[in-house]
Amino acid sequence: MKIFNYLKSLTLKELLKGMTVTGKYFFKRKFTIRYPEEKTPKSDRFRGLHALRRYENGEERCIACKLCEAVCPALAITIDSEQREDGSRRTTKYEIDLFKCIYCGFCEESCPVDSIVLTDIHEFHFESEGKNVLNKAQLLEIGDMREKEIAECRTNDAEYR
Amino acid sequence: MIWDQVWLVIWTLLKIVAIVLPLIIVVAYLTYAERRVIGFMQGRMGPNRVGLFGFKLWGLAQPFADTVKLLLKEIIFPANANKFLFLMAPVITLATAFAAWAVVPFSDGLVLADINAGLVYILAMTSLGVYGVIIAGWASNSKYAILGALRSAAQIVSYEIAMGFALVGVLIASGSLNLSEIVNSQAGGIGHWFFIPLLPLFVIYFISGVAETNRAPFDVAEGESEIVAGFHVEYSGAAFALFFLGEYANMIMISSLTAIMFMGGWYSPFTGNSWIAQPSILWFFMKTGFFLLLYLWFRATFPRFRYDQIMRLGWKIFIPITIAWIMVIAVLKVYQIGPWFS
């Protein structure tokens, strides 16, 4: 009946119902993460800033096979290499352009000696032009700094690979 | 002689400052409360970061940060805009919004101008505010602004009638146009407040008030998603801040008027001699705050009305109901019927 609908709308029933819903949500728990103080947990497979690892004796892992350079879909990696005095092949230049990089993790997958890895660092920035290209020294430094976390993540994830 | 006059002027100016300054601070914190309350109702936090001296204080310094930002921003004049009218519009909006506060009684005797035609003055002042909107829309030389101004003007004029009729009901029930006397005729506990015998008028008055201040769900005049921001789309910086201030001052105005007309102003809902039953300015503030919360609650809950629905609601539903209820009240009053008018 039309008249009943009309009278029903005059009681504002539906509107009050809606206000009850929002009123309840007012007191519900909020799920916002207050970012710098609180952080969400990160996966062991998180793909963040790059690093070059070393062996435990301090020897750098990279053997300049250039598989990462070849597999990189964004052509972000540039490698030059030559023979070292002891006869091993080593890189003289290992650069990653972070503006080109798409953080796909193919370089890490392709590396036969687990040298290039993606760490769980996701908070980084550049303050001037050109700083977006990480050179070999910087990459090794990041690796030295985070070696413990990197190794831990790799161990945790090993059984699923 | 002359010094008496001068002293009167200074004293009145001081009183005006004593009303306007707290009002501006309340407006500032109303914007903060709005963002917090709506955030909470939507499962968010709202602004909780801006604090003072390294303390966060739940974001309580947010309105000051916003104010400073707005004041420092450049005022951009649209090409071919009428500069004088462009700048006058926000001033008119703000001036009328503040001027109406002159007759609002905060507590017994605590009123700037205790004039006998207070109700009429209030209606006049709140209606004048529409000029600010129309002039802003026209002087902006922008199609969105003029559309928003036209919508806003039509809406305000329509709801003004329903609002006026609702106040006629109050007028009949109390027998006075003086706001203090209207409150005094509601003395004696919650049962004597006008919102019970005038329930339809009370609901219609507040909803019309929401429509009159162009707040959600009646905010087609601003309609962010369709006409960007309506009449004040071309305003920036301090000029925009004035519109903002005017809009929120009007919200507080409508809330306090609802408290005065229908909820017994400064009177306590309880009866007896205990401390809780004493009339106090705090009751007035609490009632006003409740209606302000309703404003925010509406905005968090309801989707925007379509424009023709707003017009239909105003003309075809509110006005007939108010007229009918005025008749009922008049009959009750003349023949002294019922618990309220005997």
Closest CA to B219 of B337, B311, B109, B305: B305
pLDDT of residue A37: 83
Are B33 and B59 within 8 A, CB to CB?
no
pTM attached to this predicted model: 0.81
Put simply, whether A11 touches B (Cβ < 8 Å) is no
Whether residues B43 and A28 touch (CB distance < 8 A) is answered with yes
pLDDT of residue B216: 79
Q: Which of A37-41, A88-92, B185-189, B196-200 has the least mean pLDDT?
A: B185-189
pLDDT of B89 over the 80 cut: yes
φ and ψ at B318, to 5 degrees?
-65, -50
Whether residues B300 and A22 touch (CB distance < 8 A) is answered with yes
What are the DSSP calls for B255-304, one per residue?
HHHHHHHHS-TT--S--SSSGGGS--HHHHHHHHHHHHHHHHHHHHHPPP
Q: What is the mean pLDDT of residues B244-268?
A: 88
Tens of pLDDT, residues B308-334: 888 888 888 889 989 998 998 888 888
Would you mind telling me the total number of residues written for chain A in this entry?
A: 161
Q: What angle do CA B295, B231, B97 make, to 5 degrees?
A: 50
Alpha-carbon dihedral angle through residues B317, B318, B320, B324, given to the nearest 10 degrees: 130
User: How high is the mean pLDDT of chain B?
Assistant: 85
Tens of pLDDT, residues B197-237: 888 889 999 998 888 888 878 887 776 777 677 778 888 88
**C-alpha to C-alpha distance for B173 and B186, rounded to whole angstroms:** 10
Chain B, nearest residue to A28 by Cα: B43
pLDDT of A71 over the 90 cut: yes
Band of pLDDT at residue B304, cut at 50, 70 and 90? confident
Which residues of chain A are within 8 Å of residue B298 when distances are taken between CB atoms? Answer: 19
Whether residues A26 and B37 touch (CB distance < 8 A) is answered with yes
Tokens of residue A129, six digits: 């032009």
Are B236 and B73 within 8 A, CB to CB?
yes
Q: Which residues pair with A134 in a beta bridge?
A: A96
Neighbours of B174 (CB within 10 A): 20
H or E stretch covering B38: helix B2-41
**C-alpha to C-alpha distance for B157 and B96, rounded to whole angstroms:** 16
Higher-pLDDT residue of B274 and A87 is A87
Are A52 and A135 within 8 A, CB to CB?
no
pLDDT of residue A33: 87
Whether residues B302 and A15 touch (CB distance < 8 A) is answered with yes
Put simply, whether A16 touches B (Cβ < 8 Å) is no
Tens of pLDDT, residues A91-109: 999 999 999 999 999 999 9
Tens of pLDDT, residues A107-152: 999 999 989 999 988 888 889 888 889 999 999 999 999 888 898 9
Which residues of chain A are within 8 Å of residue B297 when distances are taken between CB atoms? Answer: 19, 22-23
Which residue, among A22, A28, A31, A33, would best test binding to B if mutated, counting the most B CBs under 10 Å from its CB?
A22
Chain A, nearest residue to B49 by Cα: A34
Q: Which residues pair with B52 in a beta bridge?
A: B55
pLDDT of residue A51: 92
pLDDT of B160 over the 80 cut: yes
Whether residues A12 and B44 touch (CB distance < 8 A) is answered with no
Band of pLDDT at residue B66, cut at 50, 70 and 90? confident
Tokens of residue A71, six digits: 């597999």
Tens of pLDDT, residues B109-144: 777 788 888 888 888 888 888 888 888 888 888 888
pLDDT of A56 over the 80 cut: yes
pLDDT of residue B342: 60
Band of pLDDT at residue A75, cut at 50, 70 and 90? very high
Q: Using CB atoms within 10 Å of the CB of residue B233, give its burial: 0 to 12 exposed, 13 to 18 middle, 19+ buried.
A: buried
